[in-house]
Structures are given as C-alpha cells and as structure tokens.
Amino acid sequence: MTREQWQKIRDVLAQALELWPKDRDAFLGRACGGDQALRREVEALLSADEKARTNFLDSDAFAMALEPGAESGEPALPMSDIAVTYGTTLEVISPDRSRRSVEITESPFLIGRGGGNGNHLQLLDQRISRHSAAIIREADGYCLEDRGQRHGIFVNGKKIERIALHHEDVITFGFDDFYTIIFRCSGDDVSLRDLLSRIGTPSRDESSSGSGGLQKLNVLLQATSLLHSQLPLESVLGSMLDHAIAITNADRGLLLEADGCGSLRVRLARGSGGVPIPQVSVAPSQTALRQALERKSSVITEDLSRAEAALQMAQSIVAQSLRAIIAIPLYINTRHTASSESVLRPEHEQLLGVIYLDSRRPTAFSKLDRQILDALSVEAASILDNARLVERERQRQRLEQELNIARSIQQALIPQGLRDFPYFAVSSVHTPCHAVGGDYFDVFPLDEGRTAILVADVAGKGLGAALLATMLQGALSGITIGTDPVRLIQHINRFLCEHAQVERYATMFLGILHANGELVHICAGHPSPLILRRGQATELVANPDFPIGLMPKAEFAATTTRLEDGDTLVLFTDGVTEAESLEQELFGEARLRDSLTGREDASLEQLQKAVLQSVERFTRGASQSDDITLLLVRYRAACREIRC
C-alpha cells in the first residue's frame, strides 16, 4: 500500500464522518467507485470505536509503521495501532448439531430466551433464562458476563461470573444436550503490532533490502483484511491464493480442499498474476503433499536438486521440471463440547486443505519469507474456516426461508378460530415442535346433522412429517363427497404401504358426530380420546386398530358411542402424554386425566388452559420434544342451550 493510498483512506473517512450514517453508503459508492479495497478499509474504520478513528486521523500512522525506531531499530508503531478488524462471530451449535454463525454487532451483545427482552442471540429452549448472558466489548477485547442463567454459564468447562474471551473459547450453559457457542475472533482485533509480533521482527537488512520485506508484510495485511470482507467464498479463496503466489514469487499455486475423509481435491488453480489455470491440467507433487500431511507442517524446498531423494525422484516433479515446491497444510482446532463438570480440551486438528506452490526456477527464502508463509497459513486456515461458516449460515437461511413458506402453507391448512356448531362447541391448540410438524386436526361439516372430527399424528417431526400430514388432509377430505370412512382409511393405508420408500406411518382418530349425540369413530393406532362426563375422565377406545402405513392387509372397523348432553370429548396427540420432564419422565395419561377430573363446570377454554399449565409445570422448562395438539369437543343437545 502506497502513501497515496493510505492518504486516500484518511480523506474518504474524514468526509464520511461528517455525514449522517444513513447517507454514508451512497457517499462511499461515489467516493470509492470500483475500488472495493478502499471501501472495505473505510467501512472497517467507520465500524471501529471513536478513539481508534480519532487516533487514525490525527497520526501519520503509515509513515510511523515504515520508519525504523531511532533506538531499538524496530519499526515504530503508534500506541493506538491501526486495527485490521476480524469479523468477531459466535458459532452456535444447536442440540441437533446444526451450526450457524452470528456476528457480534452490538455491545453489550445479549443472549437469552425470546426476542422480547432485546436479546441479539435468541436460543429457543425453555431451560435458558430470558436474561442469560452478555458479551461486552472492552478496550482490550471481549468479556462474557453471566446475567442470570439459572444453572450458570461455563467457559471451557469452568463456571464463570465474568471472564475475558479468547479465540475458540467454548461457552456452555450447564446442560449436556444443549446449545454450545464457540467464540471466534482470531486473536480478538488484529493490529499491525500483533501481526509483526506474530511473525517476529524483521531485521534491518530484511526491511531495507531489495527482497521487499515490508512489501510482503503489506501483502499479508491485505490478505488478513479479507476476513471481514463480504466477498463470495470463491473470491476470498482466490485472493488468498494470489497473495501466496505474490509472496513466494511462484509460477503457480493450488488450493486443495479436504473432504470429510481427508482426501484432497483441487478447488482453485492460479498462475502468476492471478491467471486461472484449468484444474485438469495441474498435477501437484503427491510426495510433497504426503510429507506435509504426515509432518503436519509446511514443506518448503528451495532447490529440488539438493532435496531428499524421495522428492527428487517423484514422477510429477521430474515430468514437470520443477525446481522449487511449497506445501502448506491448513488446520483448524476442533473441540469437544463440554458439560459443567468436564474440562474442555482440543479434540484434534481438522485438516481443511493445503496451499501448494511450485516453480521451475530455484529460489531462496529468507527467514522473514518463511515467517510470513507460516503466518499466511494461519490466516488462510481461518479464512477458509470462517468462509465455510458463512456459507453454512447462508444455506441455513435459505432452508429457513423455505421452512417459513412451508409453515405458512401448513398454518393456512390448519383450522383457525373454529366456530361452534348447533349441537357442539369446540376449542383447539396446535404447537409444532419445529417450524412445521406432523400433527394435523380438522373439524368440518358433512351435512346439516353430521360433522367430521379428526386428529392425526405422522411419525417423526419436521418437514417430512408435515408433507405427509398435508397429504392425509387432502385424502381425508374425500369424506365430504360421501366416501365411506372405513374404505377411505383402508385405501390410504394401502397407498402408504405400497410406497414404502416414504418410510412414514401415521396414527389417526376419525369421528363423525351426529346431532343426536351418536359418535361413529375409527381409531387407527392413535391414543384413545378421553370422555369427560360428570367430572370423570375415561377412555373412549379400549382396543385401537393398527396405525396406517404399517401393514398392507390391516383391517379397520368403525365403532359407535352415544354422547350425553354436556359430555366433553378430549382428543390429543402423544406430544401431550409423552412430554418429558428434566428427569426424562413422561407426563402420561394419568396426569392428563387428573388435570381434567372434577372440572365438569369449566368452559372449554378453561379446560384447555388447565391441561397446558399442567404439562408446563411437569416439564419445568425442558425443551418441547414433540408436536402438541389438543382438541376439545363438548356435545350439547340441539334442543337445549348449554353454556360452554
């Protein structure tokens, strides 16, 4: 970076600070034009704290960074430094092991349950407190503060009240099967001083010689600035490879990416000057790659004529007349998740890939060159890992958008605001475990004197179960055109069994309630509804039939029961009776009956509230493990008005 470029950053920054924040984006577009590097630098400084910006504007930092100190002979840097800000993020690992990346954009950055408390990171679990923790930006980095998590906050397995955070610290909440958060800051905020200390101080000879040591330091700084860029993944990786080629003066460079099994494949191939090379035409030395992976360190060979015999005689090296080779393995530490009692230790180093460079000319690398290559490998691994997290987050957002569409469709198909009928009143609640669920219920008239009432539960949860539940809804609508219910259920059962690749089955209760109180019902493997009669809750079905979709030749039969005036029919899915406490005990049908018993005078809304409160008290904050559906129907004779 030249003095003119540095001055340009200061000029644009000073003008941007005079504008309202809402006007800065348009101004930067005009002032920076197509210079994306300039814009990134200015935006990074705009997002820094006021003290850092003031020191930057008031000091001649660029000159001070290049002029040797009078006494020590080291490059003199202002105490404030020039910050090259890494994107400080949290990698959030959900209980189902899915991952997403969340950027820390505020201070304090609040973590807790629900969004109504101003939480920036919302964790959807009843076991977490509404005000759980806060990450606070301080002068020397970030710290984590416990703000009321009921079981405590743990960092690397140790319970804390307040602690400074470091790169790859692991935050847990006192539960084994819960969210895990990994703090990623790559050494907090990296400054010129940090980068120089990371690679060691270059000697005066290296700084002033024609080897261009400081120019190479600048290339390293440009490479690290990619960490907070918004460029696509391929652009970030390509730029990193170009920087490696520029530092080593190689003829070509390859980025090889490791798959889940550790096998390497060429992802990018570039020549000097950023010229793309067809991947089919490149043949990296497998011997050099193997040595780098076995040693878990860089293989740097300046002149292959003086290298060990294994490299000299490698076929790809001989065939391509190579004289210099560099292979830099890229690793990132992965960690175990930890409970409150365990101490967290690194599990192993995960191989992300290899930067491979070669040349047909012998070359020589100074100590500074080697130190820069080591630093570059660390930055490249961090970029690749962060870029993967960003890409994973984008995929998660796309999936979430698709799930939102599916949820909107499913919610539109589920009855909303059920109306009362002349001979019965009805109330319902439906709470999916995930964005969409496999529970389904409906109440719809067949004619003036008959109404269909049904509840179904598809095995499993999520999108697959929701799709089958929607199919069942469409199929069961055939009752409205006069189809016999038993024949219809037998047809659906055969259809699902013939399509075994669906790998789903469902339980179902279908009842047809007549105005005279006659209830004709079929129970296909579903939990028996309860009848609340004169304050006592009893089971309606003693021996249910098979679930649909399990046995092709299963037979289904209809049973008739007569309801009395004021009887309440309680239909539910197993998400109610199989709700788990923190001790993994099931709520069960006995507790469900107890929550209903003695409430013959309660309205349907009061009964529904009593059941849900009983389940909530029993689970005591444990996360919901299944879809919950509750449907209450109170029969009333057509000739009388009963308060419901």
**Does CATH place domain 89-187 in 2.60.200.20?**
yes
**Token pair recorded at residue 208:** 């002033």
440-471 residue pLDDT tens: 888 988 888 899 999 988 887 667 777 777 78
Beta bridge partners of 628: 431
How sure is the predictor about 346, in pLDDT bands with cuts at 50, 70 and 90? very low
What per-residue confidence (pLDDT) applies to 615?
92
**At 320, is the secondary structure helix, strand, or coil?**
helix
Match 């490149």 to its residue by tokens: 282
Spatial contact of 107 and 139, defined as CB atoms under 8 Å apart: no
Nearest to 569, CA basis, from 588, 547, 541: 541
- Amino acid sitting at position 644: C
What per-residue confidence (pLDDT) applies to 416?
73
Q: Is the pLDDT of residue 614 over 60?
A: yes
Determine if residue 535 is left, alpha or beta; phi over 0 gives left, psi from -120 to 50 gives alpha, anything else beta. Answer: left
How sure is the predictor about 218, in pLDDT bands with cuts at 50, 70 and 90? low
Q: Is the pLDDT of residue 21 over 60?
A: yes
Q: Is 122 exposed, middle or buried (0-12, 13-18, 19+ CB in 10 A)?
A: middle
Across the range 313-325, mean pLDDT stands at 73
- Sequence-distant (≥ 6) Cβ neighbours of residue 248 within 8 angstroms: 326, 357, 359, 363, 365, 369, 373
- For 171, 585, 628, the CA distances from 578, given in Å and listed in that order, are 31, 8, 10
Q: Enumerate the domain spans of the chain.
A: 1-80, 89-187, 192-326+360-413, 415-635
Across the range 392-414, mean pLDDT stands at 75
Q: What is the DSSP string of 541-609?
A: -SS-BPPBTT-TT-----EEEEPPTT-EEEEE-HHHHT-B-TT--B-HHHHHHHHHTT-TTS-HHHHHH
β-strands 568-572, 628-635 pairing: antiparallel
Distance CA 256, CA 291 (A): 15
Which residue spans within 459-567 are E strands per DSSP?
A: 506-514, 518-524, 530-533, 536-539, 559-562
Distance CA 212, CA 214 (A): 6
Q: Is the pLDDT of residue 305 over 80?
A: no
Beta bridge partners of 183: 90, 169
Q: Is the pLDDT of residue 209 over 80?
A: no
What per-residue confidence (pLDDT) applies to 52?
58
Backbone angles phi, psi at 238, to 5 degrees: -60, -40
Q: In what helix (H) or strand (E) does residue 331 lie, and over which residues does it extend?
A: strand 324-335
- Sequence-distant (≥ 6) Cβ neighbours of residue 235 within 8 angstroms: none
**Token pair recorded at residue 310:** 């294994």
Nearest to 509, CA basis, from 447, 442, 464: 442
Strand ranges of the sheet holding 99-103, from the earlier edge strand across to the other edge:
99-103, 89-93, 180-184, 169-172, 153-155, 158-160
Nearest to 172, CA basis, from 189, 188, 190, 160: 160
Q: Is the pLDDT of residue 50 over 70?
A: no
- For 67, 454, 524, 628, the CA distances from 573, given in Å and listed in that order, are 75, 11, 13, 6
Beta bridge partners of 136: 143
Q: Is the pLDDT of residue 508 over 50?
A: yes
Determine if residue 411 is left, alpha or beta; phi over 0 gives left, psi from -120 to 50 gives alpha, anything else beta. Answer: alpha
CA 167 and chain centroid, separation: 19
Backbone angles phi, psi at 60, to 5 degrees: -95, 65
**Token pair recorded at residue 206:** 């290296």
What is the DSSP secondary structure assignment for residue 578, as one 8-state letter? T
Q: Is the pLDDT of residue 194 over 70?
A: no
126-173 residue pLDDT tens: 788 888 999 998 767 889 999 988 889 999 889 999 999 988 789 998
26-35 residue pLDDT tens: 778 777 777 7
**Token pair recorded at residue 109:** 């950055």
Mean pLDDT (the chain) is 77
* Long-range Cβ contacts of 463-467 (<8 Å, 24+ apart): 463/403, 463/406, 463/436, 464/438, 464/504, 465/436, 465/437, 465/438, 465/504, 466/406, 466/410, 466/436, 466/437, 466/438
Q: Taking the CB of residue 202, how many other CB atoms lie within 10 A of it?
A: 23
**Does CATH place domain 415-635 in 3.40.190.10?**
no
Model pTM above 0.85:
no
Q: Is the pLDDT of residue 189 over 50?
A: no
Backbone angles phi, psi at 350, to 5 degrees: -90, 130
Q: In what helix (H) or strand (E) does residue 7 lie, and over which residues does it extend?
A: helix 3-17
Q: Is the pLDDT of residue 3 over 70?
A: no
CA 172 and chain centroid, separation: 16
Is the torsion defined by CA of 301, 306, 308, 314 positive or negative?
positive
β-strands 133-138, 83-84 pairing: unpaired
- Amino acid sitting at position 315: Q
Across the range 272-298, mean pLDDT stands at 84
CATH number given to 192-326+360-413? 3.30.450
Q: Taking the CB of residue 330, how many other CB atoms lie within 10 A of it?
A: 24
User: To 5 degrees, how large is the angle CA 29–CA 35–CA 38?
Assistant: 90
- As a whole number of Å, the CA-based R_g of the chain is 33
Spatial contact of 248 and 395, defined as CB atoms under 8 Å apart: no
- Amino acid sitting at position 458: V
**Token pair recorded at residue 516:** 């005279």
223-246 residue pLDDT tens: 655 554 556 667 777 877 888 888
Is the torsion defined by CA of 113, 116, 118, 122 positive or negative?
positive
Across the range 332-356, mean pLDDT stands at 59
